[in-house]
Every structure is written in C-alpha cells, then in structure tokens.
Structure 1
Amino acid sequence: MSCGATAGSHTQQTAAEYYRSRRVPERLEEALNTIYHRGAADVYGQLSCYFADLSDPPVISDVRGRKVFDGAGKTTLEAAVMCTVRTVNKRICTAAIPVDSALLPTGEVSEDTERLESVETAIRWIQESIGPALRGKRPSEQSAIDQLLRALQEIPLYSHIAGLKQQQQPPPELALPTPLISVLSCAKSSPGKLNLMKEILVIPKPGTEVAKSLDLASSLQKQILKQVETQSRENRRVPSLSDLSVFSPQSPLGCPHSRTATALDQPLELIGDACERLGLDLGTSVYLAINCAAHQLMDDNKGRYEIASGTWKSPEEMVRCTWDLIHRHPAIMALVDPLRKEDRQQWDTLGKAIGSRCYLLADVAMRSRGDLQQGSDPLVCSGPILKLTNETTVSDLLMAVRGIEGENRLTILGSSCEECAEESLVDLAVGLGVRFIHLGGLLRGERAAKYNRLLQIEEDLTRSGTLGRQEEFEFPALWNNMEVSTLG
C-alpha cells in the first residue's frame, strides 16, 4: 500500500472518529427520519433548524462603546454587545445610556466638554475593562446583560427583570405601571412668566388600558391647543408660534410650552376646561400631577424660590402656597419636587398637611449610584423617582426597588430630560413592578418610542393572559406619627 493511500485511510478513520464522538451519524439519521415522516417541502431548511438547536450556545466576543446623540442633540453613550452565534460574529444588542446633566461635575469647563469627557471615559472603560472581562462568557450566565437574554433566549426583557427581582421564575402575572404623561410645561426655561410648573401631567385612573390612556392624553393636549387658538381668534389676532410652541427645540419634555401663563391657577383652569369639553371627569377618570422642579427655582443668595418672574417665596411660604393650590384644585394627586431636598423640615410640614391625599415625589432623592447604594433615603417622601443614568446599573435599581417597597413607599421609574430613543427602560419598569412610569409627553420621537413599547407589552401580556390588575391609589402613611409644625 502506498504512503498516499495509508495517509488517506488514516484521515478517513480520524474523521469518522471525530464525527462519531460528536454523535453526528446518529443525529443525522434521526434528523433525516424526522423530516421524512413530516413530509417537509424545505428539506434543507428543516435540517438547518434541527442542527441549529444542537449548536454551541452563543458566547460574548466583544463589548463596544461609541458616541451617539440623544434627543436634545447632545453627546451620549451607546454600548453594543457582540456575540459569536453559530460561528458568526454578530452585534446582538445595543443600549444608549442618557448622561444626566445634573450629575456632571461643575467647574470652569463647559457642560458640553464635561459631557464629552464623561462619554469618552465610559468608552475607554468599556473597551479596556468590560469587553475583555466578558469575552468568552455565555450571555445566559450574565444576569446584568438583559438585552442579550431577550435576543438569544426569546425571553422578553421585562420577564427576565421580573425573575431577577423575585430571585426565581417570573410571577404568573405582571401589572403595567401607570404612565405619568406630560401635557403642558410652565417651567423657568419656558417663555412665559410662570416658573413653578415644569410639567403638568395627567394620571389615568387605575385599570385604564395604556392605549386609552395615551388617547386621553393626546385628545386633552389637542383640546388645550384648540382653546389657545380660539382665545387668540377672540382677541382678533392670528395665533403664532409664540402661542403654540409645540415642536420648539426648547421643549425636550415632549409637551407644549405655555407662553402666556402668569398665575398658578391659569394652566390648571385651562386643563380643567379642556377636560370638561371632552367629557372627562377631572378627579375621577383622570388626575393631575405637577413637577415643580423647585431645585431649579432657588436663588441661593436670596434663599428664596422664584415661582414666577419677580415673585419670590421662602421655603415656609412655598409650603403654604402649595397647600393652597392643592385645596383649590383637588384633582392634583401628586407633586414632584415641591421643595429642594435640603428643605427637609418644610417637606415634613407639607407631608403632614397633604400627604394623606397627595403623593410627594422626589426626583432628586436618588439620582446617583451612591444614593441608591445607601439603602435608605434621608428625605421623607411618598417615593423617589429612580433613573437609569450614568453609572447606575440594573442591579442598583433592583436593590433600590426592594428597599423602597419594604418601606411601603411608591416606586417610580423616570426617563432623563435628555432622553435617547432607547425603549428598554419600559421593559425595566414593567419587570421591576414600579407603580408609575414617567416618560414625558407624546410629541417627541424618543418618548413616543417608549410609549409604543408600553403598548406592545400590554398587547403581549393580554394575548398570553398574564396581564395583572392595577391596584387602586393608596397614600403611604409616612407622616402620621411625625412631630412637625402644622399650617395655621
């Protein structure tokens, strides 16, 4: 026998043993028999599906970071996870993380420079530390890489988050968070004189379908604009963009600015009139919330809040002002940042006065990873608005939600003002089981994408029969036994 024939025989034997050790002949015979009995028309397609199930599980090949733009046109971070799937290197998922301007260091350099340096630092961290640490690992072994599980294992991200929260299988039913939907802005950055109402939001009553809630908010917003137009015509002038600044680049919250409001009651009366014209029972079928953003109104030198141009209030006067507003407009069931968190005594006084019928929510109570990891919030409030920004991780939020629920307080997940068109935040809110989700208005693409995702999740849960029921609104009894000064 020639040397060539001997080498060929040895190769055949080695190849046969290679395939036999991996049970290829057995698997191939099984596949051919199965496909034949099924009478499949696409034989090769069936073979591909059969052997795809036997392939090695995906492994992470790289994690990459790059600069992208958020909804306000500012630099932010996008991370992409690459996996080897059936011998092919693929980009499995991406996530854009908004950079919260409130948490950037302040100094002599501009905010844009600080933001760019922050993003570039994060990119280096991803490429030099995170990527090498995750290469070769299976995505299913990394609980923090939630988007991978959604893409590779066909498990919805919200179900995976719910399982992490329960530390077991996801619950049999999931209730959707109630959306806080922005319909009007009277902030300090708005052209009008009123500063106190950064956002006026509508809150649908518990049990309202997401689709109906969004239709309600959209109809209300259109009616408000229609009334402004009618008022302009009655004043014998044509409404201009200064009246209806809906798509102004200065409106990142996704709702119109009010350019004419000068008094606290004015925008609330406008909304009340719009509800009446639409047949909505304000205070029964729909409620209101006000994001005061008081920390943006404080003049540190004066120690006072500028609630309207030239109108200043001390912390004590702010309590009285807010208390009066709630009594004049009982449909208001939530206030966001009615005071700075530094004015804790006034927070307690306000909570004692109205906390049994109005939520006092703190957007600045837990903003950084350090705040979340402290495990407790020194500010007494109905609940903090949690945000997935900067270095905050899903694990941080899981820990925070468990702690807040253990204190019998509300859990709220919010989006950043400078938001990206990244919709996984909605999955996170559903999986965490938060009571409210704050996404802003309906007029910007990056916010509409999140509302559309909420609609999709509602449809999925309804179709699978796993949509849970929302509980009625209950107000935490946090101030009942607290010794604080009362309003005279």
Structure 2
Amino acid sequence: MEPGGRRRQQQQQRRLQELRREAAQYYQDHRVPQRMEEALNALFPQRPADLYGELANYFSKFSKAPVICKLVGRKVLDGVGQPTLEVEIYCTVKNYEKRICSTVMSSHSQIPENALPETTEADEKERNDSVNTAVEWVNESLNMMLRGLKPTDQCKVDKILGEYFTKKVEEKKEVQNQEEEEEEEATLALTSCTPSATSLPGKKKSAKPGKKVAVAERPIPPAEPAESVLRGSVAIGGTSLAVAKAGAAVSHIPLYLHIALLKCDQDSLKEMTLPLPMVTLLNCEKISPAKLRLVKEVMLIPPVQLSLKQPSSQVADSKKGRARNTGKKAPLKGKYEILTGTFKSPDEMVDMYVELINKFPFIIALIDPLRKEDRQQWSNICCALGSKCYLIAEDAATYISKLKTDQNINVPMCSGVVLKYINETKVSDLIELTGLLDGQRHITILGSPDGESSDDSLVDLAVGLGARFIKLGGLSRGERVTKYNRLLAIEEELAKNRTLREANLEFIAFAEESQPEKQLSDVLPPPKQDSLPPQLSQPALQVHSLPAQHADLGHPN
C-alpha cells in the first residue's frame, strides 16, 4: 500500500475512535455530537452494511435502562364473552416511547349454578362496574405511580401496587363503617319512637320434662362465606403481570425464564422442568341429563417420560366422540350425594375413595374430593391415600394473597393446592407462595380461572414457578389451545438448549394420627420413597379424577 493510502487509513481509524468517544459522551452527558451522520458518510462512503450494527451494539452499552413511561388500561372481552381488563405497558427506550407488551386478565366468578336470574344480573353489573373501576385505576393512579420505574424491578412495582390496594381497602372499610353507624343511629331513633311490646303472662312455653330430644347426625360444617372482592382489584393483578412481561421483553428473554430468575438466583438455574398438563377428557356440568353426581371432571395426565407432543395427539385422535356428561355431588344433612338419591356419610366417602384408588391405580390425583370445610375427613383421607395419590385442594386456595399473608387461615390437610392468577394477585405473591409450598413439600398447580383469555402468560408462569401440573381444561376453544401450543413451544426451546429436566413425581406419606386443621405453614413429613405405582412408568396416558366439591362450585367447559 502506498504511504499516502496508509496515512489516510490511519486518519480514518483515528476519526472513528473519536466518533466512538463522542457517542459515549452523548449517552453519558446527553450532548448530541454534531453532524455524526455526515461525518460517517464523508469518512466511509463505501462502508460495509454492518458498520451501523457494530456501532449500535457498541453505543447501546452506554444507553439508559428502559423505564415505564405510560400505562394504558381498557375493557375487553374474555373467552366466554365477559368484560375483563387489558393492560398495556409503554417504556422509554433510547429516548423513544415504545409499546412493549400487553396482558389480558382472566375473570373469576363465584356465582352458584342454580342462582336466580336477578342474582346473575346483579353479578354481571358488578363485574362490569369492577372492570370500569380497574380501567380508571390503571389509566390514572397507577399510570402516575409507576412512571419512571424500571420494568425489571418487579419487587418495587409490586410493593407499590400492594400499598395502593391496601389503601383502597381501608377507604372502603371507612365508608362501610360510616354507613353502618348512620344505619344504627337511624334504627335507634326509630326504636325510641316506637312503644316496646310486652309479653303476655302465661304465654311462655317451657319444655316438658322427660321429653326426648332427637340427636342429629354430625353435620358437615356449613359453607364458608364467599370472600368479598374489592371493585377494581383486577387492575393490581393485570398491572403486575404486564410489568413482568415488559421486564422480560426489555431483558430479551422469555417470560418463563424471567419469572424463574425472579424466584431463584441465576447460578442455581441450570435446568427447568415442564409442568404436566391436566387435560380434561370428560366434563360433568349442570346441563347433564345423567344421574351420576360424584364426578365433576375426568382428566388425563401424560407420563413423565413422554414429551407433550406424544400424548396430545393421542388425546385428540383416540378420544373423539367418547365424552359423556354426568352431574355433581352435593352435601345434604351432613352427607354427600354420589348418585341421585344415594347419600354417603363423610366416613363412608373416605372408604369409597380408598376402594376406588385400590381398584384403579392409574388415578394419581383427586382434586377437592371433599368439601373444604370438612377438614377432619381431609385429614383422614390424606392418611389413608396420601402415599398412593395426590389429594389436591382447589376451592380452598382461591385467594393467593390471603394464603400468603394470613398465617392462621385454615386450609385442609392436602398434598398441594391449585393456584389461580386473579384479582389483586401479584407476580411477587406467586413467587413467595410457591417458594413456601416448595419448602413444605406441597405440590403447586397453576389453573385457569373460569373466564379464560387468549393470553398465554399462565403457561410461562407455571414453567417459571416450577409448578408440578398445569390445569388448562380440554383441547378445545382457541384460548385453551393457545396455551397448550405455548407449552409445546417452551418444551421445544428447553430441549433445544438442553435445559429440560424430566419431571419427578413423588407422593406424600402423611402421618397416621388425625390432624383436623393442617395449616399451610406446617411442614409435612418427607415423601415415601418408591411410592409411585408401577403403572406410572409405562408409556400410557393417566386418568385423573376430579370429584366436585359441592353443587354451587362448577367450572364451565
């Protein structure tokens, strides 16, 4: 090369280094170097196409981390046509406002199946008002409170959301207390103006001596009152999940990995286990003309050795046209109705389930085999069947935030719980509670609420949290198939990266002594080794039986 050409090349290299320094100074001091593009064009008229890419990668190291600049909430429809909330997250990325992601919350209803039309109408109005309130919270208060925060700082975001929700709860209590005081004052004023009625002499009846009093059978404890849901609370859960998705997006990693890193440190995260899907085969709902009332759903669970693609095709091909509907059981006078007109006492129910599991060892799990209030029988059935199958509480574990904060909450003795991401639940709540369950040898199941949406974030949550199972329903309807397809995609990605670890199922051998009220905070005994039946090692689909809890708690198909 001629001396003049070598000199020009050296000048160009020095100029390029100066441009790099100027660009770095720009990102540090926010001073824009003048005519950078013109200088590049003058210096490198024949520059390679990837030069801009190299410079962009170099300069990006000095850019500010993305921060939340705007939240947008709107009312949309879920998978069953009910109104629910969508939350969009916008971030400032390299001085530009950019839409990062959105999430659609699933709705959850506790309307009894046999509710009166006016009750259903009132619930629909309350649901609509609640979504409108949630949209207002997102677009106004939460939009201002979260502005400028990093979407990767999930703990800080959830702390702010929790404090805001607590404030709203206290405001509602104050309003209720004021209304109650006004009502009491009005009642006292009315009572003082009304003459009191005196009882007439000789009218009081006393019990006759020697009369026998009938002794009733031990009844099942009455149903616990439904938990009140604060209007607008879905804004808390929707915003928390949307921020988690935004954090994953700006970190350029999938959501399941982002959740896993939030739960445990990166050094210990070398392999991940996929949750086994619980695929509904038979659904037994209120529209059923049949008479059987014991079983609510029958689910299939693939063996741990098979990939998700193997059992899913078998379910779709071999089970067409074989679905049948049955009814559900309901407690009456302290007994469970397993067939129309056929009742069993709580003790007889335990014996019946023992006989069922002994006869059909492929049944590896029972969800809500008894009412959640019947804690004594939960203890008995766990001691009888805990080493042979999973005894799962679903309706007893609906409110995640309450399970996490209330140490005295009575949850029946069980092998594990079904958790649902609803209302004011935050991502940090799930991480904390599943960590607690893991440490106490409970299994975690992530389940879809009644009103499902097409948002497949539930699958990423289940994978990232290390849930043992995921309960999505049958292979039908777009909002469900979307989630199954997401599970298949994650399995393929983990297998490709060689980070997929095979699931390991171990049943729990409970203590033999009766423990009527087992808390989630109680540490369970270690699982019994080699407790799985030999059939679970065979390459075949497993049958999962889900007896219903009682008649007013059904899940639409």
TM-score range, shorter chain: 0.7 to 0.9
In the alignment, which of 143, 150, 161 is matched to residue 131 of structure 1? 143
Per the alignment, in what secondary structure is the counterpart of residue 194 of structure 1? coil
Instruction: Check whether the contact 2:72–2:89 (CA below 8 A) recurs between aligned residues.
Output: yes
Partner of 1:306: 337
Does residue 76 in structure 1 map to residue 76 in structure 2?
A: no
Distance 1:354 1:157 in 2: 37
Q: Deviations over 1:319-375 (max 9, x none)?
A: 233223222222111100001110111111211221110111010121112123235
Distance 1:329 1:38 in 2: 75
Does residue 190 in structure 1 map to residue 221 in structure 2?
A: no
TM-score (normalised: structure 1):
0.73
Distance 1:379 1:418 in 2: 26
Instruction: Check whether the contact 1:163–1:169 (CA below 8 A) recurs between aligned residues.
Output: no
Partner of 2:488: 455
Partner of 2:249: 151
Partner of 1:341: 372
Partner of 2:314: 216
Distance 2:260 2:45 in 1: 41
Instruction: Check whether the contact 1:163–1:170 (CA below 8 A) recurs between aligned residues.
Output: no
Distance 2:348 2:29 in 1: 81
In the TM superposition, residue 133 of structure 1 has moved relative to its aligned partner by 0.7
One-letter code aligned to 1:130 = L
In the alignment, which of 179, 182, 186 is matched to residue 277 of structure 2? 179
One-letter code aligned to 2:281 = V
In the alignment, which of 105, 110, 126 is matched to residue 102 of structure 1? 110
In the alignment, which of 388, 397, 400 is matched to residue 430 of structure 2? 397
Partner of 1:479: 511
One-letter code aligned to 2:374 = D
Partner of 1:386: 419
TM-score (normalised: structure 2):
0.64
Partner of 1:432: 465
In the TM superposition, residue 102 of structure 1 has moved relative to its aligned partner by 2.5
* Residues 1:391 and 1:22: Cα distance change in structure 2 (over 3 Å): closer
Q: Deviations over 1:265-300 (max 9, x none)?
A: xxxxxxxxxxxxxxxxxxxxxxxxxxxxxxx7434x
One-letter code aligned to 2:483 = K
One-letter code aligned to 2:384 = A
Per the alignment, in what secondary structure is the counterpart of residue 319 of structure 2? helix
The structure with the larger Rg is 2
C-alpha RMSD of the superposition: 3.4
One-letter code aligned to 2:511 = W
Distance 1:383 1:181 in 2: 18
In the TM superposition, residue 140 of structure 1 has moved relative to its aligned partner by 2.5
* Residues 1:434 and 1:112: Cα distance change in structure 2 (over 3 Å): same
Distance 2:51 2:428 in 1: 45
Tell me which moved more, 305-314 or 421-430. 305-314
* Residues 1:88 and 1:318: Cα distance change in structure 2 (over 3 Å): same
One-letter code aligned to 1:454 = L
Distance 1:156 1:373 in 2: 29
In the TM superposition, residue 478 of structure 1 has moved relative to its aligned partner by 2.4
Per the alignment, in what secondary structure is the counterpart of residue 187 of structure 1? coil
Question: Identity over aligned residues, as a percent?
Answer: 44
Per the alignment, in what secondary structure is the counterpart of residue 102 of structure 1? coil
One-letter code aligned to 1:429 = A
Partner of 2:217: none
Partner of 2:258: 160
Distance 1:438 1:360 in 2: 15
Instruction: Check whether the contact 2:383–2:509 (CA below 8 A) recurs between aligned residues.
Output: no
Distance 1:422 1:148 in 2: 14
Instruction: Check whether the contact 2:68–2:91 (CA below 8 A) recurs between aligned residues.
Output: yes
In the TM superposition, residue 141 of structure 1 has moved relative to its aligned partner by 2.8
* Residues 1:219 and 1:27: Cα distance change in structure 2 (over 3 Å): farther
Per the alignment, in what secondary structure is the counterpart of residue 110 of structure 1? helix
Instruction: Check whether the contact 1:348–1:479 (CA below 8 A) recurs between aligned residues.
Output: no
Distance 2:46 2:350 in 1: 74
Instruction: Check whether the contact 1:188–1:297 (CA below 8 A) recurs between aligned residues.
Output: no
Per the alignment, in what secondary structure is the counterpart of residue 152 of structure 2? helix
Distance 1:134 1:158 in 2: 23
Q: Deviations over 1:447-481 (max 9, x none)?
A: 1111111111111111111112221x211122334
Distance 2:482 2:268 in 1: 25
Instruction: Check whether the contact 1:413–1:437 (CA below 8 A) recurs between aligned residues.
Output: yes
Per the alignment, in what secondary structure is the counterpart of residue 489 of structure 2? helix
Per the alignment, in what secondary structure is the counterpart of residue 460 of structure 2? helix
Which of structures 1 and 2 has the larger relative contact order (alpha carbons within 8 angstroms, sep 6+)? 2
Instruction: Check whether the contact 1:366–1:377 (CA below 8 A) recurs between aligned residues.
Output: no
Does residue 352 in structure 1 map to residue 383 in structure 2?
A: yes
Distance 1:62 1:88 in 2: 12
Tell me which moved more, 68-77 or 19-28. 19-28
Partner of 1:199: 297
Does residue 141 in structure 1 map to residue 149 in structure 2?
A: no
Per the alignment, in what secondary structure is the counterpart of residue 145 of structure 2? helix
Tell me which moved more, 118-127 or 309-318. 309-318
Distance 1:50 1:309 in 2: 73
In the TM superposition, residue 188 of structure 1 has moved relative to its aligned partner by 3.8
* Residues 1:221 and 1:479: Cα distance change in structure 2 (over 3 Å): farther
One-letter code aligned to 2:507 = F
In the TM superposition, residue 101 of structure 1 has moved relative to its aligned partner by 0.8
Mark the runs of 5 or more structure 2 residues left unpaired by the alignment.
1-21, 156-239, 517-557
Distance 1:452 1:138 in 2: 30
Instruction: Check whether the contact 2:368–2:394 (CA below 8 A) recurs between aligned residues.
Output: yes
* Residues 1:91 and 1:312: Cα distance change in structure 2 (over 3 Å): farther
Q: Deviations over 1:299-323 (max 9, x none)?
A: 4x63433333333333333223322
Instruction: Check whether the contact 2:152–2:248 (CA below 8 A) recurs between aligned residues.
Output: no
